[in-house]
Chains A and B, each alone.
Chain A
Amino acid sequence: MNALDELGAMLSDPLMQRALVAALLVGLAAPVIGTYLVQRKLSLLGDGIGHVALTGVALGWLIGNALGLAPDDALAVPGAVVAAVLGALAIELVRERGQTSGDVALALLFYGGIAGGVLLISQAGGTNANLMGYLFGSISTVTTGDLTLTVLLALGVLVVGVGLRTALFAVSHDEEFARASGLPVRALNLAIAVIAALTVTVAMRVVGLLLVSALMIVPVAVAQLVTSSFRRTMATAMVVGVVVCVTGLSITYWQDVSPGAMIVVLAIGLYAVTTLVRGVLGFARRRRREGVDPHPQVADDVELATPGGR
Protein backbone atom coordinates (compact mmCIF):
# COMPACT_ATOMS: atom_id res chain seq x y z
CA MET A 1 0.00 0.00 0.00
CA ASN A 2 1.52 3.35 -0.94
CA ALA A 3 1.28 6.64 0.89
CA LEU A 4 -1.61 7.91 -1.24
CA ASP A 5 -3.74 4.87 -0.41
CA GLU A 6 -2.94 5.31 3.25
CA LEU A 7 -4.05 8.93 3.05
CA GLY A 8 -7.25 7.86 1.26
CA ALA A 9 -7.96 5.31 3.96
CA MET A 10 -7.51 7.94 6.65
CA LEU A 11 -9.81 10.42 4.91
CA SER A 12 -12.56 7.82 4.36
CA ASP A 13 -12.58 6.76 8.01
CA PRO A 14 -15.71 8.44 9.49
CA LEU A 15 -14.06 8.72 12.89
CA MET A 16 -11.08 10.45 11.33
CA GLN A 17 -13.34 12.70 9.22
CA ARG A 18 -15.11 14.00 12.30
CA ALA A 19 -11.85 14.45 14.17
CA LEU A 20 -10.24 16.30 11.26
CA VAL A 21 -13.15 18.73 10.94
CA ALA A 22 -12.95 19.36 14.67
CA ALA A 23 -9.17 19.86 14.50
CA LEU A 24 -9.50 22.26 11.58
CA LEU A 25 -12.02 24.43 13.43
CA VAL A 26 -10.03 24.36 16.66
CA GLY A 27 -6.86 25.30 14.79
CA LEU A 28 -8.69 28.30 13.30
CA ALA A 29 -10.51 29.48 16.41
CA ALA A 30 -7.98 29.02 19.23
CA PRO A 31 -5.30 31.43 17.88
CA VAL A 32 -7.94 34.16 17.33
CA ILE A 33 -8.73 34.40 21.02
CA GLY A 34 -5.08 33.67 21.84
CA THR A 35 -4.04 36.85 20.05
CA TYR A 36 -6.16 38.97 22.40
CA LEU A 37 -4.97 37.04 25.44
CA VAL A 38 -1.31 37.54 24.54
CA GLN A 39 -1.96 41.22 23.92
CA ARG A 40 -3.50 41.64 27.37
CA LYS A 41 -0.74 39.55 28.96
CA LEU A 42 -3.28 36.94 30.05
CA SER A 43 -1.58 34.01 28.34
CA LEU A 44 -2.50 31.62 31.13
CA LEU A 45 -6.21 32.50 31.23
CA GLY A 46 -7.06 29.60 28.91
CA ASP A 47 -5.26 27.25 31.26
CA GLY A 48 -7.35 28.42 34.19
CA ILE A 49 -10.59 28.09 32.26
CA GLY A 50 -9.56 24.59 31.23
CA HIS A 51 -9.16 23.59 34.87
CA VAL A 52 -12.59 24.94 35.73
CA ALA A 53 -14.16 23.24 32.71
CA LEU A 54 -13.12 19.85 34.08
CA THR A 55 -15.54 20.28 36.97
CA GLY A 56 -18.22 21.10 34.40
CA VAL A 57 -17.45 17.91 32.49
CA ALA A 58 -17.76 15.87 35.69
CA LEU A 59 -20.98 17.61 36.75
CA GLY A 60 -22.46 16.99 33.30
CA TRP A 61 -21.49 13.36 33.64
CA LEU A 62 -23.08 13.08 37.11
CA ILE A 63 -26.31 14.69 35.93
CA GLY A 64 -26.36 12.49 32.83
CA ASN A 65 -26.00 9.43 35.09
CA ALA A 66 -28.75 10.61 37.39
CA LEU A 67 -31.11 11.15 34.46
CA GLY A 68 -30.15 7.78 32.99
CA LEU A 69 -29.12 9.19 29.60
CA ALA A 70 -27.84 6.68 27.04
CA PRO A 71 -24.15 7.54 26.73
CA ASP A 72 -22.69 8.33 30.17
CA ASP A 73 -21.13 11.54 28.98
CA ALA A 74 -23.96 13.00 26.88
CA LEU A 75 -23.95 16.11 29.06
CA ALA A 76 -20.15 16.38 29.42
CA VAL A 77 -19.62 19.01 26.71
CA PRO A 78 -22.66 21.14 27.66
CA GLY A 79 -21.48 20.93 31.28
CA ALA A 80 -18.03 22.09 30.24
CA VAL A 81 -19.51 25.01 28.28
CA VAL A 82 -21.51 26.22 31.29
CA ALA A 83 -18.65 25.81 33.78
CA ALA A 84 -16.09 27.41 31.47
CA VAL A 85 -18.28 30.46 30.77
CA LEU A 86 -19.04 30.93 34.48
CA GLY A 87 -15.36 30.47 35.35
CA ALA A 88 -14.25 32.95 32.69
CA LEU A 89 -16.75 35.55 33.88
CA ALA A 90 -15.56 35.10 37.47
CA ILE A 91 -11.94 35.50 36.41
CA GLU A 92 -12.76 38.65 34.42
CA LEU A 93 -14.64 40.21 37.33
CA VAL A 94 -11.71 39.51 39.68
CA ARG A 95 -9.33 41.04 37.12
CA GLU A 96 -11.52 44.12 36.76
CA ARG A 97 -11.44 44.71 40.51
CA GLY A 98 -7.64 44.63 40.24
CA GLN A 99 -7.19 43.67 43.86
CA THR A 100 -4.04 41.95 45.05
CA SER A 101 -6.13 39.14 46.51
CA GLY A 102 -7.33 38.47 42.95
CA ASP A 103 -4.22 36.40 42.34
CA VAL A 104 -5.08 34.06 45.21
CA ALA A 105 -8.75 33.96 44.20
CA LEU A 106 -7.71 32.80 40.73
CA ALA A 107 -5.46 30.09 42.14
CA LEU A 108 -8.30 28.82 44.33
CA LEU A 109 -10.62 28.73 41.33
CA PHE A 110 -8.10 26.86 39.15
CA TYR A 111 -7.10 24.17 41.61
CA GLY A 112 -10.60 23.81 42.99
CA GLY A 113 -11.75 23.25 39.42
CA ILE A 114 -9.34 20.46 38.61
CA ALA A 115 -9.57 18.74 42.00
CA GLY A 116 -13.37 18.89 41.97
CA GLY A 117 -13.43 17.51 38.44
CA VAL A 118 -11.22 14.52 39.27
CA LEU A 119 -13.26 13.70 42.40
CA LEU A 120 -16.63 14.01 40.70
CA ILE A 121 -15.68 11.99 37.61
CA SER A 122 -14.78 8.96 39.73
CA GLN A 123 -18.09 9.40 41.61
CA ALA A 124 -19.95 9.37 38.29
CA GLY A 125 -18.37 6.05 37.35
CA GLY A 126 -15.78 7.46 34.96
CA THR A 127 -12.50 5.57 34.48
CA ASN A 128 -8.96 6.87 34.37
CA ALA A 129 -9.13 6.46 30.60
CA ASN A 130 -12.14 8.79 30.43
CA LEU A 131 -10.28 11.30 32.57
CA MET A 132 -7.17 11.12 30.38
CA GLY A 133 -9.39 11.68 27.34
CA TYR A 134 -10.65 14.97 28.73
CA LEU A 135 -7.28 16.09 30.05
CA PHE A 136 -5.18 15.30 26.98
CA GLY A 137 -7.66 14.92 24.14
CA SER A 138 -9.11 11.83 22.55
CA ILE A 139 -10.35 11.76 18.98
CA SER A 140 -12.30 8.56 19.49
CA THR A 141 -14.73 10.46 21.73
CA VAL A 142 -15.79 12.90 18.99
CA THR A 143 -19.40 11.93 18.24
CA THR A 144 -21.60 13.48 15.56
CA GLY A 145 -23.47 15.41 18.26
CA ASP A 146 -20.19 16.75 19.65
CA LEU A 147 -19.13 17.74 16.17
CA THR A 148 -22.32 19.78 15.60
CA LEU A 149 -21.77 21.61 18.87
CA THR A 150 -18.10 22.15 17.98
CA VAL A 151 -18.99 23.62 14.58
CA LEU A 152 -21.54 26.01 16.09
CA LEU A 153 -19.26 27.17 18.91
CA ALA A 154 -16.25 27.58 16.61
CA LEU A 155 -18.30 29.66 14.17
CA GLY A 156 -19.46 31.84 17.07
CA VAL A 157 -15.87 32.37 18.23
CA LEU A 158 -14.72 33.23 14.70
CA VAL A 159 -17.59 35.65 13.98
CA VAL A 160 -17.11 37.59 17.22
CA GLY A 161 -13.31 37.33 17.41
CA VAL A 162 -12.65 38.32 13.80
CA GLY A 163 -15.70 40.54 13.20
CA LEU A 164 -15.18 42.76 16.24
CA ARG A 165 -11.39 42.71 15.98
CA THR A 166 -10.90 46.50 15.90
CA ALA A 167 -13.03 47.02 19.01
CA LEU A 168 -11.44 44.06 20.84
CA PHE A 169 -8.01 45.34 19.79
CA ALA A 170 -8.85 48.82 21.11
CA VAL A 171 -9.92 47.56 24.52
CA SER A 172 -7.00 45.12 24.80
CA HIS A 173 -4.44 47.68 23.64
CA ASP A 174 -5.39 50.64 25.86
CA GLU A 175 -8.33 50.18 28.19
CA GLU A 176 -8.17 53.75 29.46
CA PHE A 177 -8.47 55.19 25.97
CA ALA A 178 -11.32 52.81 25.16
CA ARG A 179 -13.13 54.03 28.27
CA ALA A 180 -12.54 57.64 27.24
CA SER A 181 -14.10 56.86 23.85
CA GLY A 182 -17.29 55.66 25.47
CA LEU A 183 -16.70 52.12 24.23
CA PRO A 184 -18.60 49.45 26.22
CA VAL A 185 -15.34 48.31 27.85
CA ARG A 186 -16.94 45.94 30.30
CA ALA A 187 -19.10 44.23 27.69
CA LEU A 188 -16.09 43.81 25.39
CA ASN A 189 -13.95 42.40 28.22
CA LEU A 190 -16.70 39.95 29.09
CA ALA A 191 -17.02 39.05 25.40
CA ILE A 192 -13.31 38.14 25.33
CA ALA A 193 -13.75 36.05 28.48
CA VAL A 194 -16.77 34.23 27.03
CA ILE A 195 -15.17 33.47 23.68
CA ALA A 196 -12.08 32.23 25.54
CA ALA A 197 -14.35 29.88 27.49
CA LEU A 198 -16.12 28.66 24.35
CA THR A 199 -12.77 28.07 22.65
CA VAL A 200 -11.62 25.95 25.58
CA THR A 201 -14.65 23.69 25.28
CA VAL A 202 -14.35 23.53 21.49
CA ALA A 203 -10.71 22.44 21.78
CA MET A 204 -11.31 20.06 24.68
CA ARG A 205 -11.92 16.95 22.55
CA VAL A 206 -8.97 17.57 20.27
CA VAL A 207 -6.10 18.64 22.53
CA GLY A 208 -7.58 18.14 26.00
CA LEU A 209 -8.19 20.62 28.79
CA LEU A 210 -4.60 20.74 30.04
CA LEU A 211 -3.17 21.64 26.63
CA VAL A 212 -5.92 23.95 25.33
CA SER A 213 -4.00 27.02 26.38
CA ALA A 214 -0.95 25.95 24.36
CA LEU A 215 -3.05 25.87 21.20
CA MET A 216 -4.23 29.42 21.89
CA ILE A 217 -0.83 30.87 22.73
CA VAL A 218 1.92 28.99 20.87
CA PRO A 219 0.67 29.78 17.31
CA VAL A 220 0.57 33.47 18.32
CA ALA A 221 4.09 33.20 19.70
CA VAL A 222 5.23 31.71 16.36
CA ALA A 223 3.41 34.38 14.35
CA GLN A 224 4.87 37.22 16.42
CA LEU A 225 8.35 36.17 15.39
CA VAL A 226 7.67 36.96 11.74
CA THR A 227 5.01 39.68 11.66
CA SER A 228 4.83 43.36 12.51
CA SER A 229 1.08 44.06 12.50
CA PHE A 230 -1.80 42.86 14.63
CA ARG A 231 -3.89 41.72 11.68
CA ARG A 232 -1.08 39.66 10.15
CA THR A 233 -0.17 38.19 13.54
CA MET A 234 -3.71 36.91 13.92
CA ALA A 235 -3.91 35.58 10.34
CA THR A 236 -0.52 33.88 10.56
CA ALA A 237 -1.39 32.35 13.93
CA MET A 238 -4.59 30.93 12.43
CA VAL A 239 -2.63 29.31 9.59
CA VAL A 240 -0.10 27.89 12.06
CA GLY A 241 -2.94 26.59 14.25
CA VAL A 242 -4.64 24.78 11.36
CA VAL A 243 -1.40 23.29 10.06
CA VAL A 244 -0.25 21.89 13.43
CA CYS A 245 -3.73 20.62 14.37
CA VAL A 246 -4.39 18.79 11.12
CA THR A 247 -0.82 17.46 10.81
CA GLY A 248 -0.65 16.39 14.45
CA LEU A 249 -3.99 14.63 14.30
CA SER A 250 -3.10 12.84 11.05
CA ILE A 251 0.08 11.48 12.64
CA THR A 252 -2.01 9.86 15.37
CA TYR A 253 -3.86 7.85 12.71
CA TRP A 254 -0.67 5.86 12.13
CA GLN A 255 1.09 6.27 15.46
CA ASP A 256 -0.74 5.49 18.68
CA VAL A 257 0.04 8.73 20.55
CA SER A 258 -2.05 11.36 22.28
CA PRO A 259 -3.28 13.86 19.64
CA GLY A 260 -3.12 16.78 22.06
CA ALA A 261 0.48 16.11 23.00
CA MET A 262 1.46 15.56 19.34
CA ILE A 263 -0.15 18.85 18.23
CA VAL A 264 1.45 20.90 20.99
CA VAL A 265 4.89 19.36 20.44
CA LEU A 266 4.60 20.18 16.72
CA ALA A 267 3.64 23.77 17.52
CA ILE A 268 6.54 24.23 19.91
CA GLY A 269 8.90 22.61 17.40
CA LEU A 270 7.70 25.11 14.81
CA TYR A 271 8.42 27.90 17.29
CA ALA A 272 11.96 26.63 17.81
CA VAL A 273 12.63 26.29 14.07
CA THR A 274 11.21 29.77 13.36
CA THR A 275 13.38 31.29 16.09
CA LEU A 276 16.47 29.62 14.61
CA VAL A 277 15.70 30.69 11.03
CA ARG A 278 14.92 34.21 12.18
CA GLY A 279 18.17 34.34 14.15
CA VAL A 280 20.19 33.30 11.08
CA LEU A 281 18.38 35.77 8.79
CA GLY A 282 18.62 38.55 11.39
CA PHE A 283 22.36 37.96 11.67
CA ALA A 284 22.73 38.28 7.90
CA ARG A 285 20.65 41.47 7.90
CA ARG A 286 22.68 42.98 10.72
CA ARG A 287 25.88 42.26 8.80
CA ARG A 288 24.49 44.17 5.82
CA ARG A 289 23.35 47.10 7.97
CA GLU A 290 26.70 47.58 9.69
CA GLY A 291 28.11 51.03 9.08
CA VAL A 292 24.69 52.65 8.87
CA ASP A 293 23.97 55.00 11.80
CA PRO A 294 20.59 53.96 13.25
CA HIS A 295 20.11 57.23 15.16
CA PRO A 296 17.90 59.92 13.59
CA GLN A 297 19.67 63.16 12.66
CA VAL A 298 18.45 65.46 15.42
CA ALA A 299 19.93 68.67 16.86
CA ASP A 300 21.50 68.24 20.29
CA ASP A 301 19.52 69.21 23.38
CA VAL A 302 22.64 70.61 25.05
CA GLU A 303 25.57 72.75 24.07
CA LEU A 304 28.65 70.59 23.98
CA ALA A 305 31.70 72.27 25.49
CA THR A 306 34.26 70.38 23.47
CA PRO A 307 33.94 70.82 19.70
CA GLY A 308 33.99 67.65 17.70
CA GLY A 309 32.41 65.73 20.55
CA ARG A 310 30.01 64.03 18.18
Chain B
Amino acid sequence: MTPVVRAAGLRVSLGGSVILHHIDLAVDDGEVVALLGANGSGKSTLVRALVGAVPAESGTVELFGTPLGRAVPWERVGYVPQRVSAASGVPATACEVVVSGTLHARRLLPPRDARRRACAALEEVGLGAEADRPVRELSGGQQQRVLIARALVRSPDLLVLDEPVAGVDLPSQQVFADALTRLTHRGTTVLVVLHELGALEPLIRRAVVLRHGCVAHDGTPPAPSAEHAGPDHVHLHPHDGDRGPASEGQPALAPTIRWQA
Protein backbone atom coordinates (compact mmCIF):
# COMPACT_ATOMS: atom_id res chain seq x y z
CA MET B 1 0.00 0.00 0.00
CA THR B 2 1.34 3.46 -0.83
CA PRO B 3 1.92 5.64 2.20
CA VAL B 4 -0.19 8.82 2.39
CA VAL B 5 2.91 10.95 2.95
CA ARG B 6 6.38 9.94 1.89
CA ALA B 7 9.54 12.04 2.02
CA ALA B 8 12.87 10.61 0.89
CA GLY B 9 16.25 12.30 1.30
CA LEU B 10 14.50 15.61 1.85
CA ARG B 11 16.75 18.65 2.23
CA VAL B 12 15.47 22.19 2.65
CA SER B 13 17.50 25.40 2.80
CA LEU B 14 16.08 28.78 3.64
CA GLY B 15 18.04 32.02 3.47
CA GLY B 16 21.26 30.10 2.84
CA SER B 17 20.98 27.86 5.94
CA VAL B 18 20.23 24.15 5.79
CA ILE B 19 17.08 23.78 7.89
CA LEU B 20 16.35 20.11 7.13
CA HIS B 21 18.58 17.34 5.79
CA HIS B 22 18.36 13.59 5.22
CA ILE B 23 14.68 13.42 6.15
CA ASP B 24 13.03 10.09 5.40
CA LEU B 25 9.47 9.85 6.58
CA ALA B 26 6.46 7.75 5.65
CA VAL B 27 2.99 8.08 7.14
CA ASP B 28 0.53 5.28 6.43
CA ASP B 29 -3.20 5.56 5.87
CA GLY B 30 -5.08 6.18 9.12
CA GLU B 31 -2.00 6.90 11.23
CA VAL B 32 -1.90 9.75 13.74
CA VAL B 33 1.66 11.05 13.96
CA ALA B 34 2.98 13.80 16.21
CA LEU B 35 5.98 15.79 15.09
CA LEU B 36 7.92 16.92 18.15
CA GLY B 37 11.15 18.78 18.76
CA ALA B 38 12.60 21.85 20.37
CA ASN B 39 12.02 25.34 19.04
CA GLY B 40 13.95 25.81 15.84
CA SER B 41 14.46 22.08 15.18
CA GLY B 42 12.70 22.39 11.81
CA LYS B 43 9.22 21.02 12.59
CA SER B 44 7.29 23.80 10.89
CA THR B 45 9.62 23.83 7.90
CA LEU B 46 9.12 20.09 7.50
CA VAL B 47 5.33 20.26 7.34
CA ARG B 48 5.54 23.26 5.03
CA ALA B 49 7.85 21.34 2.73
CA LEU B 50 5.53 18.32 2.83
CA VAL B 51 2.57 20.39 1.56
CA GLY B 52 4.65 22.32 -0.96
CA ALA B 53 4.59 25.68 0.81
CA VAL B 54 8.40 25.83 0.79
CA PRO B 55 10.50 24.28 -1.99
CA ALA B 56 12.72 21.26 -1.38
CA GLU B 57 16.38 21.70 -2.32
CA SER B 58 16.78 18.01 -3.00
CA GLY B 59 14.93 14.79 -2.29
CA THR B 60 11.32 13.92 -3.04
CA VAL B 61 7.96 14.37 -1.39
CA GLU B 62 4.95 12.30 -2.41
CA LEU B 63 1.38 12.76 -1.24
CA PHE B 64 -0.96 9.83 -1.95
CA GLY B 65 1.79 8.36 -4.12
CA THR B 66 2.00 11.46 -6.39
CA PRO B 67 5.05 13.76 -6.40
CA LEU B 68 4.26 17.32 -5.24
CA GLY B 69 2.73 19.38 -8.02
CA ARG B 70 -0.57 20.00 -9.69
CA ALA B 71 -1.26 16.27 -10.08
CA VAL B 72 -1.54 15.74 -6.30
CA PRO B 73 -5.18 15.17 -5.25
CA TRP B 74 -5.14 18.42 -3.26
CA GLU B 75 -8.81 18.12 -2.38
CA ARG B 76 -7.80 15.23 -0.07
CA VAL B 77 -5.20 17.35 1.78
CA GLY B 78 -6.11 19.77 4.57
CA TYR B 79 -3.38 22.06 5.90
CA VAL B 80 -3.62 24.26 8.99
CA PRO B 81 -0.74 26.74 9.10
CA GLN B 82 0.60 28.18 12.30
CA ARG B 83 -1.82 30.86 13.28
CA VAL B 84 -1.32 33.97 11.24
CA SER B 85 -3.03 37.17 12.16
CA ALA B 86 -6.30 36.44 10.41
CA ALA B 87 -7.21 40.13 10.35
CA SER B 88 -5.90 41.33 7.03
CA GLY B 89 -6.49 44.77 5.56
CA VAL B 90 -10.03 44.07 4.39
CA PRO B 91 -12.57 42.58 6.79
CA ALA B 92 -13.66 39.01 6.05
CA THR B 93 -16.18 36.82 7.83
CA ALA B 94 -15.33 33.41 9.26
CA CYS B 95 -17.54 31.87 6.58
CA GLU B 96 -15.64 33.62 3.76
CA VAL B 97 -12.30 32.41 5.09
CA VAL B 98 -13.62 28.84 5.33
CA VAL B 99 -15.14 28.99 1.82
CA SER B 100 -11.67 29.81 0.45
CA GLY B 101 -10.72 26.30 1.64
CA THR B 102 -13.04 24.70 -0.91
CA LEU B 103 -10.67 25.74 -3.71
CA HIS B 104 -7.75 23.60 -4.83
CA ALA B 105 -5.58 22.92 -7.86
CA ARG B 106 -8.48 21.81 -10.03
CA ARG B 107 -11.19 24.08 -8.66
CA LEU B 108 -10.89 27.85 -8.96
CA LEU B 109 -14.57 28.60 -8.36
CA PRO B 110 -16.30 27.63 -5.12
CA PRO B 111 -18.88 24.82 -5.41
CA ARG B 112 -22.57 25.66 -5.36
CA ASP B 113 -23.05 24.43 -1.80
CA ALA B 114 -19.88 26.13 -0.51
CA ARG B 115 -21.68 28.14 2.16
CA ARG B 116 -23.55 25.14 3.53
CA ARG B 117 -20.31 23.14 3.70
CA ALA B 118 -18.48 26.05 5.33
CA CYS B 119 -21.16 26.33 8.00
CA ALA B 120 -20.95 22.58 8.64
CA ALA B 121 -17.15 22.82 9.03
CA LEU B 122 -17.52 25.75 11.44
CA GLU B 123 -20.12 23.73 13.36
CA GLU B 124 -17.56 20.94 13.63
CA VAL B 125 -15.14 23.24 15.48
CA GLY B 126 -17.91 24.77 17.59
CA LEU B 127 -18.15 28.08 15.76
CA GLY B 128 -21.49 27.57 13.98
CA ALA B 129 -22.87 30.73 15.57
CA GLU B 130 -19.94 32.90 14.48
CA ALA B 131 -20.11 32.21 10.73
CA ASP B 132 -21.02 35.77 9.77
CA ARG B 133 -18.80 37.55 12.27
CA PRO B 134 -15.65 39.23 10.97
CA VAL B 135 -12.60 37.15 11.80
CA ARG B 136 -10.80 40.10 13.39
CA GLU B 137 -13.41 40.22 16.16
CA LEU B 138 -12.78 36.60 17.17
CA SER B 139 -10.36 35.56 19.91
CA GLY B 140 -7.00 33.99 19.04
CA GLY B 141 -8.27 30.49 19.77
CA GLN B 142 -11.39 31.05 17.69
CA GLN B 143 -9.30 32.34 14.78
CA GLN B 144 -7.22 29.18 14.99
CA ARG B 145 -10.44 27.13 14.88
CA VAL B 146 -11.53 29.05 11.76
CA LEU B 147 -8.27 27.98 10.10
CA ILE B 148 -8.96 24.37 11.12
CA ALA B 149 -12.48 24.61 9.67
CA ARG B 150 -10.92 25.93 6.44
CA ALA B 151 -8.91 22.69 6.22
CA LEU B 152 -11.89 20.51 7.17
CA VAL B 153 -14.31 22.02 4.65
CA ARG B 154 -13.02 19.81 1.85
CA SER B 155 -13.31 16.65 4.02
CA PRO B 156 -9.60 15.81 3.75
CA ASP B 157 -8.18 12.30 4.05
CA LEU B 158 -4.90 13.80 5.25
CA LEU B 159 -4.80 16.57 7.82
CA VAL B 160 -1.52 18.42 8.40
CA LEU B 161 -1.53 20.79 11.38
CA ASP B 162 1.23 23.14 12.51
CA GLU B 163 0.99 23.80 16.27
CA PRO B 164 -2.79 23.95 16.31
CA VAL B 165 -3.04 24.44 20.08
CA ALA B 166 -0.13 26.80 20.78
CA GLY B 167 -1.39 29.85 22.61
CA VAL B 168 -4.99 28.68 22.33
CA ASP B 169 -7.44 29.00 25.22
CA LEU B 170 -8.43 25.81 27.03
CA PRO B 171 -12.01 25.50 25.69
CA SER B 172 -10.67 25.82 22.13
CA GLN B 173 -8.07 23.13 22.88
CA GLN B 174 -10.80 20.78 24.12
CA VAL B 175 -13.05 21.44 21.11
CA PHE B 176 -10.07 20.79 18.87
CA ALA B 177 -9.17 17.50 20.61
CA ASP B 178 -12.79 16.30 20.30
CA ALA B 179 -12.95 17.19 16.61
CA LEU B 180 -9.67 15.44 15.93
CA THR B 181 -10.87 12.33 17.78
CA ARG B 182 -13.99 12.17 15.59
CA LEU B 183 -11.87 12.57 12.46
CA THR B 184 -9.37 9.85 13.36
CA HIS B 185 -12.27 7.47 14.06
CA ARG B 186 -13.37 8.10 10.49
CA GLY B 187 -9.92 7.07 9.31
CA THR B 188 -8.37 10.47 8.59
CA THR B 189 -4.58 10.44 8.54
CA VAL B 190 -3.15 13.15 10.80
CA LEU B 191 0.31 14.70 10.96
CA VAL B 192 0.47 17.28 13.73
CA VAL B 193 3.29 19.51 14.95
CA LEU B 194 3.15 19.82 18.73
CA HIS B 195 5.12 21.21 21.63
CA GLU B 196 3.60 18.75 24.06
CA LEU B 197 1.10 15.97 23.57
CA GLY B 198 -1.39 17.53 26.01
CA ALA B 199 -5.03 16.84 25.26
CA LEU B 200 -4.10 14.82 22.16
CA GLU B 201 -2.11 12.21 24.10
CA PRO B 202 -4.71 9.40 23.86
CA LEU B 203 -4.79 9.68 20.04
CA ILE B 204 -1.09 9.54 19.33
CA ARG B 205 0.62 6.19 18.85
CA ARG B 206 3.66 7.40 16.99
CA ALA B 207 5.92 10.39 17.40
CA VAL B 208 8.69 11.71 15.20
CA VAL B 209 11.20 13.90 17.00
CA LEU B 210 13.38 16.33 15.08
CA ARG B 211 16.69 17.60 16.38
CA HIS B 212 18.91 20.02 14.47
CA GLY B 213 17.08 19.38 11.24
CA CYS B 214 17.04 15.60 11.11
CA VAL B 215 14.96 12.81 12.60
CA ALA B 216 16.22 11.87 16.08
CA HIS B 217 13.44 9.47 17.06
CA ASP B 218 10.62 7.68 15.27
CA GLY B 219 8.36 5.42 17.25
CA THR B 220 6.28 5.45 20.43
CA PRO B 221 5.89 8.89 21.97
CA PRO B 222 8.91 9.56 24.19
CA ALA B 223 8.56 10.66 27.81
CA PRO B 224 8.85 14.40 28.29
CA SER B 225 12.26 15.56 29.50
CA ALA B 226 12.62 16.17 33.22
CA GLU B 227 12.25 19.93 33.16
CA HIS B 228 9.05 19.65 31.10
CA ALA B 229 7.73 16.62 33.00
CA GLY B 230 4.32 16.21 34.47
CA PRO B 231 0.86 17.37 33.57
CA ASP B 232 1.19 20.31 35.97
CA HIS B 233 4.00 21.85 33.97
CA VAL B 234 2.83 25.21 32.72
CA HIS B 235 3.76 26.16 29.19
CA LEU B 236 3.71 29.78 28.27
CA HIS B 237 3.49 30.64 24.62
CA PRO B 238 4.14 34.24 23.84
CA HIS B 239 1.85 34.49 20.88
CA ASP B 240 1.51 37.88 19.32
CA GLY B 241 -0.24 36.66 16.23
CA ASP B 242 2.45 37.48 13.74
CA ARG B 243 5.03 35.15 12.26
CA GLY B 244 7.97 36.74 13.95
CA PRO B 245 10.44 34.82 16.09
CA ALA B 246 8.35 35.51 19.21
CA SER B 247 5.71 33.00 18.11
CA GLU B 248 8.30 30.22 18.28
CA GLY B 249 9.31 30.82 21.89
CA GLN B 250 11.99 32.80 23.64
CA PRO B 251 13.66 35.13 21.14
CA ALA B 252 17.09 34.36 22.60
CA LEU B 253 16.69 30.62 21.99
CA ALA B 254 14.91 30.64 18.65
CA PRO B 255 16.94 30.96 15.48
CA THR B 256 16.30 34.14 13.59
CA ILE B 257 16.05 32.38 10.25
CA ARG B 258 12.41 32.40 9.26
CA TRP B 259 10.86 31.72 5.95
CA GLN B 260 9.91 34.91 4.21
CA ALA B 261 6.72 34.71 2.22
Contacts and interface: CB of A to CB of B under 8 A. Distances in A.
Nearest to A232: B91
Interface stretch (A22-30, A53-61, A169-177, A282-290): A169-177
B92 A230 contact: yes
Interface in A132-178: 163-164, 166-167, 169-170, 172-178
Contacts of B150: 177
A229 interface: yes
B171 interface: yes
Interface in A17-73: 35, 38-41, 43
B90 A180 contact: no
B52 A98 contact: no
B81 interface: yes
A180 B88 contact: no
A176 B53 contact: yes
A296 interface: yes
A230 B96 contact: yes
Nearest to B151: A177
B88 A39 contact: yes
Given A176-B81, A182-B70, A298-B170, A227 B91 contact: yes
Interface of B: 48, 51-53, 69-70, 72, 74, 77, 79, 81, 84, 88-93, 96-97, 99-106, 108-110, 114, 132-134, 137, 139, 147, 150, 160, 169-171, 260-261
B52 A179 contact: yes
Interface size class of A (residues with CB under 8 A): 35 or more
Given A179-B52, A182-B77, A230-B91, 17 more contacts: A40-B88, A164-B108, A166-B100, A166-B103, A172-B88, A175-B261, A177-B79, A180-B48, A180-B81, A181-B104, A184-B105, A227-B91, A228-B134, A229-B96, A229-B132, A230-B90, A298-B170
Contacts of A169: 92, 96, 100
A252 interface: no
A174 B81 contact: yes
Q: Main SS of the interface on chain B? A: loop
A178 B101 CA distance: 8
B92 A177 contact: no
Given A164-B108, A183-B105, A228 B70 contact: no
Contacts of B169: 298
Q: Main SS of the interface on chain A? A: helix
B90 A35 contact: yes
**Which A-B residue pairs are the 8 nearest by beta carbons?**
A182-B105, A182-B74, A170-B100, A180-B51, A180-B79, A228-B134, A230-B92, A39-B90
Given A166-B100, A182-B70, A176 B48 contact: yes
A166 B107 CA distance: 11
Contacts of A247: none
Contacts of A167: 103, 108-109
18 contacts: A98-B260, A164-B108, A166-B100, A170-B103, A173-B92, A173-B100, A175-B261, A176-B261, A180-B51, A180-B53, A180-B79, A181-B74, A182-B70, A224-B90, A224-B91, A228-B133, A230-B91, A233-B91
A166 B112 CA distance: 13
Given A170-B103, A173-B100, A182-B74, A233 B108 contact: no
Contacts of B171: 298
